[in-house]
Amino acid sequence: MKRTPLFPLYTEHPGVRCIDFGGWELPGQFSGIGLEHAAVRERAALFDVSHMGEIWVTGRHAEAYVQQMTTNDVTRLTDGAAQYTLMCNTEGGTVDDLLVYRVTAERYMLVVNAANIEKDYEWLKQHLLPDVALEDRSEVTALLALQGPLAGTVLSQLIDDPAVHNLAPFHFLPEVAISGCKVLLSRTGYTGENGYEIYADAADAPLLWRALMQAGEPEGLVPAGLGARDTLRFEACLPLYGQELSLSISPLEAGLGMFVKLDKAGGFIGREALRQQKETGLKRKLAGIEMLERGIPRSHYPVYAEGRLIGEVTSGTQSLTLKRNLGLALLEIGHTAVGAEVEVEIRGKRLKAAVVKTPFYRRPLPGKGV
């Protein structure tokens, strides 16, 4: 199995339990999903997400190229800004969801899902424009995610730079030093909480991990694994590729229409299919559901209404923050209005559930004392 440069450090935490995540041996948890989840909501936690892929796009026509490959409007980015976006195939199915970082108009970093790195790279290569170069730097790039309301406080122990403190959400600094290591620092994350993501040379990752853990000790910073990352992103209703998104699920079906700019200059791959979906009306859509009877919805559980199969659960768990049994489900459009009654088949029994508002969790706005 593949391992990140931080793997040797995991064993310093006696409670660590590793899991196989798409061929990667990664920490599922360090101290317990519940504790790690709460740490992100209340204080801060550090995740190793070095398995994520980083593909660099450079050259004179880099902007036009990224524009053509992705659904969001990359021309709206300024240097030092990033956006959430998707790549689609010509049928409108989702190839991947990703972050695009604009360093300059001729230099972009695409951050893609670990399981899709090769597929994405091939897809990108197939559609390459002249004077554009691709480089997959996933193997030599480590990624640490520092997430939680105290993430900024922890970071300020290591960097005393006003630019860091003024960094707005979805903005980044292409080159800052943390503990003598050159990193790309961005105010992004996948937890629904405030936080930062730190892209570094793989060789620097252990030193950075230790420095951050030490700096965060007074604030109660803990290491967190993929288990908590999933429960956190789920509460915030951030999609997970392979569950809410796939080659057969379009961004519009997944409720990500705000990241699909059908009318942007230059067009993009999949636009015609998505436009048609929008014009003829979606047949199915992602909805939040809450169990009304005792049971926890899980991926692939079938969903019924009026005695008929109308879709399936894409993700589900007991929300650790809200203590409610919640799911995301891809359902026939006629059953996706808030309040609609559905049934989830759990271990052979159909149990009552209702469509509820999403996201399930929204972080409190920064107020006094923050």
Binding residues for other proteins, rule: CB under 8 A, are 17, 28-29, 32-34, 227, 230-231, 294-296, 298, 317-318, 320, 325, 347
Structure tokens at 146: 């520092």
Contact of 244 with 286, CB cutoff 8 Å: yes
CB atoms within 10 A of CB 162: 8
Q: Measured from the CB atom, is 59 or 225 closer to other proteins?
A: 225
Contact of 125 with 180, CB cutoff 8 Å: no
CA distance 16 to 27: 6
Q: Measured from the CB atom, is 270 or 295 closer to other proteins?
A: 295
Q: Measured from the CB atom, is 96 or 230 closer to other proteins?
A: 230
Three-state DSSP at 200 gives: strand
Report in angstroms how near the CB of residue 92 gets to other proteins at its nearest: 31
Q: Measured from the CB atom, is 156 or 318 closer to other proteins?
A: 318
Report in angstroms how near the CB of residue 335 gets to other proteins at its nearest: 25
Three-state SS sequence of 303-346: EEECCEEEEEEEEEEECCCCCCEEEEEEEEHHHCCCCCEEEEEE
100 contact partners, CB below 8 Å, separation of at least 6: 66, 70, 72, 74, 77, 82, 83, 85, 108, 109, 110, 111
Query: Which H/E stretch holds residue 62?
Result: helix 62-69
Q: Measured from the CB atom, is 94 or 317 closer to other proteins?
A: 317
CA distance 355 to 337: 7
Q: For tokens 């919640």, what's the residue?
A: 326
Q: Measured from the CB atom, is 30 or 121 closer to other proteins?
A: 30
Contact of 71 with 272, CB cutoff 8 Å: no
Type of residue numbered 309: L
Q: Measured from the CB atom, is 34 or 334 closer to other proteins?
A: 34
